[in-house]
Homo-oligomer: A and B are copies of this chain.
Amino acid sequence: KRGIRSATPEEIQAGLTADVYFVGTQQILHELGLSDEVVTAEIFANHAGVLAGVEEALTMLAPLNVTVDALDEGSMVSAKQVVMRITGQYGVFGLYETALLGILAASSGWATAAHEIVEAAKPVPVVSFGARHVHPAVASVMDRAAMVGGAQGASSILGARQAGEIPSGTMPHALLLMAGDTVKAAQAYDALMPPNAPRVVLVDTFKDEAEEALRVAEALGSKLAAIRLDTPRERGGVTPELVREVRARLSQKGYGHVGIFVSGGLTPARVGPLVEAGVTGFGIGSYIAAASPLDMTMDLKEINGKPVAKRGRIPGLTPSPSLKRRQTGATGD
């Protein structure tokens, strides 16, 4: 009975994640003799952002006899902009409204947040570290969306693999605590890693970061790619002053080649000054993972070619020149 409660792709495709009120609709339409009516629905975003989830949505629609127009994955959309248009018999696709909106809203929310922080961090690369903040069923979906929004990598195995990237990682605090010393752990890590993998060593577990960074640099020498600062809030977090000092102390001792990778509670406002101070890479967790969904709405806008709309909306198709035909059904216009 107890089990992982998330839905499988098969359950999703079968409509089991729909809102229950779409279930009886087809039957009522039949009762009303409206089963054959051809309708056009539009999905629009309620806020501006970066669109993601389009490919996943198209996957869901692929088996259906409907015509689909959509914007490209990764498009910048403005508030109220139409991102997808579906034409066909309502009974054929209505059941998928909930899942379609959820796929687009969730991924676009993550992509939008990633985009904001990627812009703020330019030209320093950003890696998605958010897997620990979302349900594992969607960690890879989030990592994929973060890359649509501009992230260069992701820490989760499945997320990075789906994106065709090598996952980015360093080492957990737990490993360091068990080894009892950062240098000892770093040397073992170095000994086991494939030669071409970059050595990035976490330096805030036991000692002051500046002291530990120098100890690790002395131990690994030219093999050390970067140290990672993840200073806990209880020790003041990672500040531009800390980065500037660690940078200076490393360079004064001849370790100018060692980069500084920073993670922990980062936001767009915080990354700018850190870039200026000398950071060479960011790991972004909750700013991406806790992004609000970019909420989407589906509206019926035509029935048998005639403009309709519920109260509060303008009837008829919204002019949307950027939409591209992605699938053609038997009843498409």
Of the residues B97, B109, B132, B170, contact of A98 by C-beta under 8 Å: B132
State whether A169 touches B132 (Cβ < 8 A): no
Q: For A178, list chain B residues within 8 Å (CB).
A: 29, 32, 34, 37, 39, 90, 300, 303
State whether B7 touches A140 (Cβ < 8 A): yes
Number of copies: 6
**A50-68 interface with B by 8 A CB criterion:** 55-56, 58-60, 62
Q: Is A266 an interface residue (CB 8 A)?
A: no
Q: Is A324 an interface residue (CB 8 A)?
A: no
Among A9, A41, A97, A136, the most chain B Cβ lie within 10 Å of the Cβ of A136
State whether A206 touches B28 (Cβ < 8 A): no
State whether A7 touches B174 (Cβ < 8 A): no
Of the residues B28, B135, B137, B232, contact of A192 by C-beta under 8 Å: B28
State whether B98 touches A156 (Cβ < 8 A): yes
Q: For A19, list chain B residues within 8 Å (CB).
A: 129, 131-132, 155-157, 169
Of the residues B20, B109, B177, contact of A300 by C-beta under 8 Å: B177
CB distance from A195 to the nearest CB of B (A): 14
**A152-181 interface with B by 8 A CB criterion:** 155-160, 162, 167-179
Binds B, one of A115-123, A219-227, A287-295: A287-295
Q: For A90, list chain B residues within 8 Å (CB).
A: 174, 178
Q: For A309, list chain B residues within 8 Å (CB).
A: 177
Q: How far is the CA of A235 from the CA of B310 in the complex (A)?
A: 11
Q: Is A76 an interface residue (CB 8 A)?
A: no
State whether B252 touches A242 (Cβ < 8 A): no
Q: Is A276 an interface residue (CB 8 A)?
A: no
**A4-62 interface with B by 8 A CB criterion:** 4-9, 11-13, 15-25, 27-29, 31-32, 34, 37, 39, 41, 55-56, 58-60, 62
Q: For A207, list chain B residues within 8 Å (CB).
A: 207-208, 211, 311
Q: For A160, list chain B residues within 8 Å (CB).
A: 20
With known contacts A137-B6, A295-B133, A20–B155 Cβ distance under 8 A: yes
Q: For A106, list chain B residues within 8 Å (CB).
A: 133-135
Of the four ranges (under 10, 10 to 19, 20 to 34, 35 or more), the interface on chain A belongs to 35 or more
Q: For A137, list chain B residues within 8 Å (CB).
A: 6-9, 12, 17, 135, 137-138, 141
Q: How far is the CA of A204 from the CA of B235 in the complex (A)?
A: 12
Q: Is A268 an interface residue (CB 8 A)?
A: no
State whether A315 touches B155 (Cβ < 8 A): no
> Can you list 13 contacts pairing A with B, beta carbon distance less than 8 Å?
A5-B56, A16-B158, A17-B137, A17-B139, A19-B156, A32-B188, A98-B132, A101-B133, A135-B138, A138-B138, A177-B303, A206-B211, A232-B310
Given A103-B136, A106-B133, A204-B310, 5 more pairs with CB closer than 8 A: A20-B168, A21-B172, A98-B131, A245-B312, A248-B315
Please give me the 8 A-B residue pairs with the lowest Cβ-Cβ distance, nearest first: A236-B236, A21-B169, A232-B312, A20-B167, A234-B312, A17-B136, A4-B9, A234-B241
